[in-house]
Structure 1
Amino acid sequence: MEYFRQRYHEYLNENGPVEIAGFTWENADVFEKMTTGLNGEKGDYEATFTVFVQDQIQLAKERAREFLEETQCLDRFRALSARKQNGQVLPFVGAGMSIASGYRPWGAFLLSLLGDAPHIRADVEAMLGRSEYEEAAQLVHDTLQSHVLAEEIANQLGRHRPKTAGPVCLLPRLFPNEVLTTNFDYVLTHVYHRAELPFAYEFCGMRLREARQRIGNDPHCLLRLHGEADASEGRVLTRNEYDAAYNGGVTLTNILGALIGTRSLLFMGASLQSDRTHAALRDIRAENADAPVRHYAFLPLPADNERAARRAFLAEAEIHPIYYPADDHDQYIEDLLLTLMGGGLDD
């Protein structure tokens, strides 16, 4: 699995370079060249890499079991794993999954735009502290003007930024069909393209209304709930844009309900605060109170005195948290994804 290639080279290079007659080569390069056959076959280099990958996956499973037991989420993860093996899990990718690729969380992104508008910084920070993301975005929009905000979004989040890193790069191996995201950036587009599994379609913003009908024959699609960085049309960011997008009887509730069906959402890199996604899922749960579909979320473990309230809030939307320690998000999410990829925990 190419995800581990660089890590494999670092492992081979741990003991320093090979030096002969004043020339220096990295151990990984020497090993690869010395074990490559005349016809280009990699031999022992690739065989050793395969073993290395298997060892990494086994270590990930062991770490996952340990922290899932500590957070009392082991049985919940097993339920998620069973649904994943049955093809009943739809990934929902939030901004946290793009941080390893060099992108800011959404609140930090808005604050980064205020170099020319320092007079509203305190107000924006206060709104973000109250989880009023739409209102904060509206204030930034109105202060900077729409074309300036569009330029900043395109500059910082546009398709021209090709870097991808972190556990988001594992998603093509796990989820070859629909992927939901609220992100404007193109990390998922680049990741799936490099995995030679490019999306057949990308539905953005208001075009999601037609997605359910069009993806029946080719479900490998990226569903961008809020639009994309390089196009203002269909973007859903500010309070006014939300109100414009969801009107005339079309709501995020019925769009999400149609896309999800009977599948479970798996939230990754999403803060899951009091926002429209939570509200939409809360409404869907109310409409299906007799047999609601369970959803899951990989989330950092809250403080002990906050855990009960957090669980109650998520339960309103039928979201069930799978907690990991908060000290290393990327490592623990990688462990969880590799465990899912490996068929779940070994009993």
Structure 2
Amino acid sequence: MSEISIDERLLEHVLGLLNTQYEENSVFNDDFDSNGLVQIGEASYSPSKVLYWLDQRAYGAELAAWENNANEEKHDRALTLLRDNACAGQFEDLLQAVERGRVVPFVGAGLSKPHGMPLWGEALGQLLKRLPGADAEAINEMIVTGRYLEAAQALAGHDAVQCSHFIRTTYRANKLKLAGPLLKLPKFAKGCIVTTNFDDAIEKTYGDDNRFEAYMHGTQEHNFFQRLVRGDRCLLKLHGDAENPATHILTRGQYEEAYGNPFDFQKPLPKALRQIFISQSLLFLGCSLEQDWTMDLFAKAVEDGGYQVPNHYAMLPAPVDAQAKQQKESRLLNLNIQPIWYPDGQHGDVDCLLELICDVTAKSFVFKG
């Protein structure tokens, strides 16, 4: 008698679990039942309940299709962007690289902007206003024309102490407001991350539960190379960390010391960048990818040959001028960087595209190209 009672209790427990599982899909169930009840004799039943209890495999297939359709609407903006800009092919390749765990986000100032941090040109302009004795006209001309390295060199030459103080106070941790596309990275990027930013928005985003196991701030590194090779979570901050002035790489002189002129791949920083470039797939986010030291280093790695450079990817605002867009695309493709375009000024589209990556990675959406 007791054996039967145990079986009954087990059956009751299993039925309770199954019923809870069914009720967790209440939104789908309501939608599935919207066309009316199922009549069996004089009795009426919810179609979703009938399907769930008679054929759970069929119920699961209907649920998956419904979720995919719902996500299709959710991702309509991203899918339209990819179709309209003929970028679906490279996006599908990017998804495959994500699935293999081979993608390294390369985070520029554009992704720290929603966190309250200034873009590079804005920061230099703010610093210039704090240095009344500097040659404002000449330095402002450098900033306006995008010659940021020259502007930084001139500002540091005028007052290096104020420059260092400005970086520490402008990019300090307690100013951060976590927001924007950066929050998507922990959902699909589990290994190395590269950034040009001084702030610690990335560290804050990943949090204590996903703490970085190794880092390189400027030329100072802590277990970086051995962890990089192992595929562990590590962080490369190319310009250094705001809190440590000894790591800052801001001026032309500091660049030449850190990278060599010409590039010296025995030095830690160029060695690390080249290693990532030839072994992983970079995903550039919040970067303009105009000609600079980093792009010149990648070009040098391609030029030297001897490496099978993987495909890299960049989410970029499309130049309004068609010829300018073509020229930029050709320059990037020459470095194996596949641009994924969105309309100029519509930087919120980066968030849409990253959300699509997250859902495909989580198997909650099927990308059909």
What TM-score comes out, normalization by structure 1 length?
Answer: 0.78
Q: 1:139 to 1:341 in 2, by over 3 A?
A: same
Partner of 1:207: 220
Equivalent position amino acid for 1:175 in 2: A
Paired residue for 1:198, among 204, 211, 223? 211
For 1:122 and 1:138, locate their aligned partners in 2 and report how far apart those are by CA, in whole Å.
15
- More moved, 101-110 vs 78-87: 78-87
Contact map agreement 1:300 1:323 (CA 8 A) in 2: yes
Structure 2 CA distance for partners of 1:167 and 1:149, relative to 1, 3 Å: same
Q: Is the 8 A contact 2:110 2:286 kept in 1?
A: yes
Normalised by the size of structure 2, how large is the TM-score?
0.74
Report what 1:9 is aligned to: none
Whole-angstrom CA distance in 2 between matches of 1:109 and 1:57: 39
CA contact (8 A) 1:208 1:225 kept: no
- Within the candidate set 215, 235, 249, 2:248 is matched to 235
Matched-pair contact (CA < 8 Å) for 2:171–2:198: yes
Alpha-carbon distance between aligned partners in 1 of 2:258 and 2:26, rounded to the nearest angstrom: 52
Matched, 1:159 2:176: no
Superposition map of 1:137-156 within 5 A:
137-143=152-158, 145-156=159-170
1:38-83, CA deviations, whole angstroms, 9 ceiling, x for partnerless residues? xxxxxx99987xx9x9898544422111111111211111111111
Cα distance between partner residues in 2 of 1:125 and 1:140: 11
More off after superposition, 309-318 vs 69-78? 309-318
The structure with higher relative contact order (CA 8 Å, sep 6+) is 1
For residues 207-261 of structure 1, what are the alpha-carbon distances to aligned partners after superposition, in whole Å with 9 as ceiling and x for unaligned? 2596212445571111111101111112111001111212464275432122344
Aligned to 2:149: 134
Q: Is the Cα contact below 8 Å between 1:212 and 1:258 reproduced in 2?
A: no
The answer on whether the counterparts of 1:279 and 1:317 sit within 8 Å (CA) in structure 2 is no
Residue 346 in structure 1 maps to residue 363 in structure 2: no
Q: Which amino acid aligns with 1:164?
A: L
Whether the 8 Å CA contact 2:278–2:308 is kept in 1: the answer is: no
> What is the rounded CA distance, in whole Å, between the counterparts of 2:169 and 2:284 in structure 1?
27
Q: In 2, Cα distance between the equivalents of 1:285 and 1:266?
A: 17
Mean Cα deviation higher: 64-73 or 263-272: 64-73
1:173 maps onto 2:187 in alignment: yes
- The reply on whether 1:266 has 2:279 as its aligned counterpart is no
| Candidates 240, 244, 248, aligned match of 2:257 | 244
AA partner of residue 224 (structure 1): K
Aligned counterparts, 1:49-88, within 5 A:
58-88=72-102
DSSP-derived class of the 2:135 partner: helix
Residue type at the aligned position of 2:368: D
Distance 2:73 2:155 in 1: 45
Q: Secondary structure at the match of 1:179?
A: strand
Q: Distance in 2 between matches of 1:180 and 1:227?
A: 11
For 1:202 and 1:259, locate their aligned partners in 2 and report how far apart those are by CA, in whole Å.
14
Give the secondary-structure state (helix, strand or coil) at the position aligned to 1:259. helix
Number of aligned residues: 301
Contact 1:111-1:121 at 8 Å conserved across structures: no
Tell me which of 270, 282, 287 is aligned to 2:299.
Answer: 282
1:85-104 matched pairs, under 5 angstroms: 85-104=99-118
Partner amino acid, structure 2, of 1:233: A
Shift of the alpha carbon at 1:345? 2.1
What is the CA distance between 1:299 and its match in structure 2? 0.2
Is 1:299 the counterpart of 2:342? The answer is no
Q: Which deviations, in whole Å up to 9, do the C-alpha atoms of 1:180-230 show, x marking residues without a partner?
A: 111001111111117x31222332111259621244557111111110111
* Sequence identity percentage: 28
Which of 333, 337, 344 is the matching residue for 2:350? Answer: 333
Checking the alignment, whether the CA contact within 8 Å between 1:205 and 1:235 is kept in structure 2 is yes
Give the corresponding residue for 2:4. Answer: none
Long gaps (5+) in structure 2: 1-22, 28-62, 361-365
- Which is greater in Rg? 2
Is 1:220–2:233 an aligned residue pair?
yes
Contact 2:214 2:223 in 1 (8 A): no
> Aligned with 1:342: secondary structure?
helix
Describe the shift of the 1:128–1:319 C-alpha distance in structure 2 as closer, same or farther (beyond 3 A).
farther
Q: Secondary structure at the match of 1:320?
A: strand
Distance 1:298 1:104, change over 3 A: same
Moved more, 319-328 or 56-65: 56-65
* Farther off after superposition, 252-261 or 182-191: 252-261
Identify if the C-alpha distance between structure 1 residues 279 and 46 changes in structure 2 by more than 3 Å, giving closer, same or farther: farther
